[in-house]
Every structure is written in C-alpha cells, then in structure tokens.
Amino acid sequence: MDHASTDIRRVLVVGGHGKVARLLLPQLVAAGYETTAVFRNPEHQAEVAQTGATPLVADVEKLDTGALAEILNGHDAIIWSAGAGGGNPPRTYAVDRDAAIRSMDAALHAGARRYLMVSYFGARTDHGIPQDNPFHPYAEAKAAADNHLSASALDWTILAPSRLTDDPPTGRIETAEQGAVAGSVGRADVAAVVLQALRDPATIGRTLRFNAGATPIPEALRG
C-alpha cells in the first residue's frame, strides 16, 4: 500500500464507466485500494473489469437510501463521479441531485465516512445561470448536492475542475486558492487529483476548484 491514509482500504466509485472514472480506476488499483466500480449498463462490465476494479451493475437513479447503503457496506470511501450527462432536466435532477444526496445519507448509514464529490468549477448556489439556459438544471442540481455534502457529518472533499478536455496528463494544476479562474483541465489530471485528495487527509472539508496549471498536484492540494 502506498497511500497515505491506511484506514481507507476499500473504495467505491459511482459512475464507474465515465471518462474520468476509467482513468481513475486503474490508478486506485495500482495504489493498493480494493476498488469497486458502480455503473448501470451491464454491457460495460468487461471494459470496467479491464481497469482492475470490481464491476458492480446498479442503477443509482432507482436505488433508495437503504439499497445504496447495502452497496456501500464494507467500503471506507465513496467517490461520486456519476452524472446524467445533460439534455434531460428531470433525469439531471434525479441523478446529479437526488441520487447523489441519497448516496451521502447512505454513506453515513454504512459507515463509509470518506466522500469525494466530482463537481465543476462554477458550482455554487449563486451560479448565475439563467433559467432558460440548458445548463441551468445541472447547475442547480450540483449546487444542491454540494451543499448537502458540505453540511453533512461525512469527511468530504468537493473537487471542482474547469471544463474537461482529453489532454494528456501533466501532473500539474492551479487551484482557485492560487488565483485560478475557470479554464480547462485534462480528465487525466482530474483523475490524478481525485486520487491525491483521497490519499491526503488535509483535503477533508475543502472545496478544491482547479484547472490546468504549473503546480505539482500534491503541492497544489496542500493549499
């Protein structure tokens, strides 16, 4: 085990077939975590298994808090990297807000106290997105989920990257604490940030907004 927090051994990633998650899963496995990846399409099992994580087919949109707690039982940490993908406001609220909030409550019930949320740079209640903008439901949903998490008794971290790209990994970012404004960042670096945040207890209780930059990730997250 090369990770810093030895009390975290088993990690569950929700949204396990997403682009960030598929970059993150092999990193978690390589770092020594027993990793379970949750996703809803059974056709993705083989692809997820190739990452080294244990595939678990489950539709979090349809699971209540009790069912989510059963899935989380025995895990030490949850990483929420799921999303409805936009374009369908009711489903955006159902997944990005309601299912996410249920998973937080379930994590408390299951004793999975470490919770990392993959959000976005501009997520906040005063996001300023007009109601007639197609992005508005997502902005509202993420703000509600992030607020619920930050008010919870979980050991939470909110990771809020700028616009995502498929650029190769650099291992370097810039945070809002360093003066970063919204820009862009590669998904590979987002995955590396999630892993580092999991390993570094100093990130607990913090919202980390970041984009591409010049500071090595561990140093940037130390603030």
CATH number at 208 reads 3.40.50.720
Count how many domains the chain has: 1
The pLDDT value given to residue 84: 75
DSSP string, 35-85: EEEEES-GGGHHHHHTTTSEEEE--TTT--HHHHHHHHTT-SEEEE-----
The pLDDT value given to residue 120: 86
Tokens read off for 222: 């130390």
Rg of the chain over all Cα atoms, to the nearest angstrom: 16
The pLDDT value given to residue 176: 93
The pLDDT value given to residue 98: 97
The pLDDT value given to residue 132: 87
Report if residue 30 sits inside a domain: yes
Q: Which domain holds residue 34?
A: 10-222
Could you state, in chain order, the average pLDDT of each consecutive group of 10 residues for the chain (223 residues)?
63 96 97 97 96 97 96 97 85 95 97 95 82 88 96 97 95 94 94 97 96 97 85
Tokens read off for 88: 């369908």
Report if residue 2 sits inside a domain: no
Report if residue 88 sits inside a domain: yes
**Residues in CB range of 171: below 8 A, 6 or more apart:** 189, 192, 216, 217
The pLDDT value given to residue 6: 53
Report if residue 126 sits inside a domain: yes
Report if residue 4 sits inside a domain: no
Q: What does DSSP assign to residue 158? A: E
Report if residue 121 sits inside a domain: yes
The 8 Å CB, 24+ separation contacts for 92-99 are: 92/137, 92/138, 92/141, 93/137, 93/140, 93/141, 94/61, 95/60, 95/61, 95/141, 96/138, 96/141, 96/142, 96/145, 97/140, 97/141, 97/142, 97/144, 97/145, 99/60, 99/61, 99/63
- Location of structure tokens 């692809």: 47
Checking phi first, is residue 184 left (phi over 0); if not, alpha (psi -120 to 50) or beta? beta
Report if residue 162 sits inside a domain: yes
